[in-house]
């Protein structure tokens, strides 16, 4: 492949228009051939008589998406990493040192190395289009900006704004980029080149001077914080914030703070770049970085897949979506669909219920408007896409209907049959059930090939996972359509076979049940949840999660598992107490924890111990045992679900589902990536110890023992 065409100089009088258009790719990205070509172009510009240079992308909605992750993944030694980063820094330094003024004209994604390129230019113009997103997301891959981002950004936009962008791995839109000083001007996409050329001519006419944009603090408080004395406080607070959020599990943000603190204000660019280079190398070699890159590939896998093996099958275009049930789930589904431009119509038994669904969607957009993420016009536009009804009016035009009514098989089957009679023969119905059989439900549909599961996770607007459940008669076209619809709604779909709890709940229930057994053995709620959050890295502990899911739901689903999976499912004694109690968790503000009226979780409700028939906790178990029993229970069940029952096809799908559906710590790479790190033999040995001491439920499954016996891993 020739990269001569990937970066071209188009002469326009005194101005060189440099076009990025990476051959054979949908996006521009910095890989070795592109960087070599960029170096050649910069050399040509340096020797030329051009008086200004404008850099622009020919890709529709991409400026430069960043460095090529495939290449980063292959860098496994300190020498390889230092060499690659040094080359990138040197080329961007050449850009910064060009004799003529440079202008970056940005339309579309400008992330990572794209943003670092932008900051090496003298002037920066961006479009106001929604596709224009600028920032440094490297910490999300377990690395830090390495092509000068840690050095240039604080000098350009100030210490506080730079830390905000770098530590969170944020991408900001054009208007926000202009506000913080990352770009100089924001324009309509149609005016981008016109404005860039005008800027070039202005600069040439004013003498063609280079420009070093340095941050100047506005106001006394900002002046103090940017001063040498104030910086220490800024770094300290930033570090506290990172540790509070990550509990020290993610080294990259801490390394970024360290690099910035050493280089901010340093006059020696070469030394500053060397410090950044060393910092990049340290974090790039960590297991955390390798695991986060693994997670990146899991998400990329979804973008490329269609949900079915048959590549000739095409998804139907879904323009109109019906939702049966306008509760929290129904309202949430309507919100995420309409937010992406899909007409959504909710049906419920009365207008009070419909009104609640509409209010739920309205409230979510109102929050977006208060945060200035959308304006009033956009708010009204989105709300206009959501409607409600108590009959089937409009359902004849629906491409897909999602059923989200009460979890009762008989009622669901009746409603599905009724709804199918009101729709086009080729329209699809998908159930949002979390625990009932999609196979049995599909029997009620007169054309079961057009029926599937589409299981959203609560809260719908926050949780990215959708389980796409295939029934025995579901067609490939139906699965492909629901899979594509999920992506269109901004979700991460995983195709699963029908079975008790599908995938995520099947793995999650043994985990939550084990936490209940830990309580029965004397562990406090605080000790259990703290171990899983602070030490293991879960977003919330298993007891808090039970409250979030609903204690009544936990009991109900575990009993379904018991019926389907038999003796290996043991129900904790406190689940019987929970079933008779009025404690339902967060939804009625009364669970293992206390709750504020707005649903915010407060402290543990200490009266729960006596109510559940438990003595005061003495915490006789180690955190290690608590974590291993909970996590290994999931691994054990997963061996059965993946290897024996083929609920999903690959370990990749398990890890994606667990990260997106439960918040399993991304820095560990996913449940099965973590299991492989420990080794299947170690997990089998530990489970056998706990099974002998505690209960047969922890006995390692045969598929897991087979893996260990043959020294195999889940990822082979």
Residues with catalytic function: 455
Q: Are 264 and 154 in contact (CB under 8 A)?
A: yes
Q: Are 64 and 88 in contact (CB under 8 A)?
A: no
What is the CA 378 to chain-centroid distance, rounded?
24
CA pair distance 35, 349, nearest whole angstrom: 61
> What's the length of the chain?
716
Structure tokens given for 445: 């549909």
Beta bridge partners of 12: 15
* Burial 182-213, CB ≥16 within 10 A → b, else e: bbbebbebeebbebbbebbeebbeeeeeeeeb
The burial of 79, by beta-carbon neighbours within 10 Å (0-12 exposed, 13-18 middle, 19 or more buried), is given as exposed
Structure tokens given for 142: 């377990």
DSSP helix/strand/coil, 523:
coil
Q: Are 156 and 182 in contact (CB under 8 A)?
A: yes
Structure tokens given for 616: 């005061």
Helix (H) or strand (E) holding 113: helix 113-119
For 5, phi then psi, to 5°, come to -80, -10
CA pair distance 163, 155, nearest whole angstrom: 11
For residue 574, is it left (φ>0), alpha (ψ between -120 and 50) or beta?
alpha
The burial of 505, by beta-carbon neighbours within 10 Å (0-12 exposed, 13-18 middle, 19 or more buried), is given as buried
* Burial 375-398, CB ≥16 within 10 A → b, else e: eeeeeeebbebbbbbeebeebeeb
Which of these, 462, 563, 554, lies nearest to 510 by C-alpha position? 554
Residue 65 carries which DSSP code? -
E strands, 310-378, are: 320-324, 343-347
Q: Are 15 and 53 in contact (CB under 8 A)?
A: yes
Q: Are 314 and 438 in contact (CB under 8 A)?
A: no
E strands, 532-646, are: 593-595, 601-604
Other C-beta atoms closer than 10 Å to the C-beta of 236 total: 12
Q: Are 31 and 75 in contact (CB under 8 A)?
A: no
For residue 684, is it left (φ>0), alpha (ψ between -120 and 50) or beta?
alpha
Beta bridge partners of 123: 103
Q: Half-sphere exposure of 410 toward its Cβ, with a 13 Å CA cutoff?
A: 0
Other C-beta atoms closer than 10 Å to the C-beta of 613 total: 11
Would you say the C-alpha torsion 25, 27, 33, 39 has a positive or negative sign? Answer: positive
Q: Which residue has the tokens 């020797």?
A: 47
Measured at the CA of 512, the angle between CA 511 and CA 514, to 5 degrees, comes to 65
Cis peptide leading into residue 459 (ω within 30°):
yes
Beta bridge partners of 595: 601
Residues 6+ apart with CB under 8 A from 288: 142, 249, 250, 251, 252, 667
Measured at the CA of 585, the angle between CA 584 and CA 591, to 5 degrees, comes to 95
The burial of 607, by beta-carbon neighbours within 10 Å (0-12 exposed, 13-18 middle, 19 or more buried), is given as exposed
């Amino acid at each position: 492949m020739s990269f001569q065409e990937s970066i071209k100089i188009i002469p326009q009088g005194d101005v060189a228009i440099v076009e990025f258009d990476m051959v054979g790719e949908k996006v521009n990205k910095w890989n070795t051939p592109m960087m070599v070509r960029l170096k050649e172009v910069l050399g040509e510009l340096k020797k030329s008589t051009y008086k200004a240079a404008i850099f622009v992308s020919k890709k529709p909605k991409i400026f430069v998406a960043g460095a090529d992750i495939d290449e980063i993944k292959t860098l496994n030694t300190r020498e390889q990493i230092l060499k690659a980063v040094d080359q990138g820094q040197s080329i961007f330094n050449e850009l910064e040192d060009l004799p003529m003024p440079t202008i970056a004209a940005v339309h579309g994604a400008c992330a990572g190395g794209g943003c670092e390129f932008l900051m090496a230019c003298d002037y920066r113009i961006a479009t106001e289009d929604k596709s224009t997103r600028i920032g440094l997301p490297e910490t999300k891959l377990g690395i830090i900006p390495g092509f000068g981002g840690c050095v240039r950004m604080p000098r350009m936009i100030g210490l506080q704004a730079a830390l905000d962008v770098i530590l969170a791995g944020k991408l900001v839109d054009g208007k926000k980029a202009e506000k913080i000083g990352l770009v100089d001007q924001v324009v309509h996409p149609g005016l981008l080149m016109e404005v860039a050329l005008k800027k070039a001519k202005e600069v040439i006419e004013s003498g063609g001077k280079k420009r070093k944009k340095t941050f100047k603090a506005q106001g006394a408080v900002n002046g103090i914080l940017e001063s040498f004395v104030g910086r220490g406080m800024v770094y300290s607070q930033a570090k506290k914030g990172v540790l509070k959020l990550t509990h020290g599990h993610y080294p990259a943000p801490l390394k970024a703070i360290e690099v910035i603190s050493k280089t901010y204000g340093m006059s020696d660019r070469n030394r500053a770049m060397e410090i950044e280079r060393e910092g990049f190398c340290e974090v790039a070699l960590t297991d955390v970085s390798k695991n986060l890159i693994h997670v990146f590939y899991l998400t990329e896998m979804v973008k490329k897949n269609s949900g079915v093996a048959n590549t000739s099958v095409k998804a139907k275009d879904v323009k109109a979506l019906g939702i049966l049930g306008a509760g929290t789930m129904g309202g949430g589904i309507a919100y995420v669909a309409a937010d992406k431009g899909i007409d959504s119509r909710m049906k419920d038994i009365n207008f009070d219920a419909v009104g609640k669904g509409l209010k739920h969607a309205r409230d979510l957009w109102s929050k977006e408007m208060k945060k200035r993420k959308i304006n009033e016009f956009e708010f009204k536009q989105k709300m206009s896409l959501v409607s409600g009804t108590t009959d089937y009016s409009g359902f004849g035009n629906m491409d897909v209907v999602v059923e989200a009514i009460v979890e009762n098989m008989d009622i669901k089957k009746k409603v599905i049959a009724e709804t199918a009679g009101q729709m086009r023969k080729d329209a699809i119905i998908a159930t949002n059930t979390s625990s009932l059989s999609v196979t049995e439900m599909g029997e009620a549909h007169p054309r079961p090939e057009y029926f599937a599961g589409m299981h959203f996770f609560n809260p719908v607007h926050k949780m990215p996972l959708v389980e796409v459940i295939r029934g025995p008669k579901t067609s490939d076209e139906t699965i492909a359509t629901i899979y594509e619809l999920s992506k269109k709604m901004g979700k991460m779909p995983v195709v699963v076979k029908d079975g008790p709890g599908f995938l995520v709940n099947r793995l999650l229930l043994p985990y939550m049940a084990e936490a209940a057994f830990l309580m029965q053995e004397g562990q406090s709620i605080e000790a259990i949840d703290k171990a899983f959050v602070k030490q293991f890295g879960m977003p919330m502990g298993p007891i808090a999660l039970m409250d979030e899911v609903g204690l009544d739901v936990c009991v109900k689903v575990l009993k379904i598992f018991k019926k389907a999976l038999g003796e290996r499912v043991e129900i904790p004694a406190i689940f019987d107490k929970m079933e008779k109690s009025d404690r339902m968790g967060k939804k009625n503000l009364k669970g293992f924890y206390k709750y504020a009226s707005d649903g915010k979780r407060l402290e543990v409700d200490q009266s729960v111990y006596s109510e559940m028939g438990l003595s005061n906790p003495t915490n006789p178990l180690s955190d290690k045992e608590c974590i291993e029993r909970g996590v290994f229970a999931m691994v054990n069940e997963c061996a059965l679900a993946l290897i024996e029952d083929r609920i999903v096809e690959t370990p990749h799908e398990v890890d994606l589902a667990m990260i997106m559906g439960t918040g399993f710590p991304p820095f560990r790479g996913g449940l099965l990536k973590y299991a492989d790190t420990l080794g299947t033999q170690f997990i089998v040995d530990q489970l056998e110890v706990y099974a002998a001491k505690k209960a047969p439920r922890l006995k390692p499954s045969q598929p897991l023992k087979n893996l260990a016996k043959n020294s195999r891993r889940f990822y082979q």
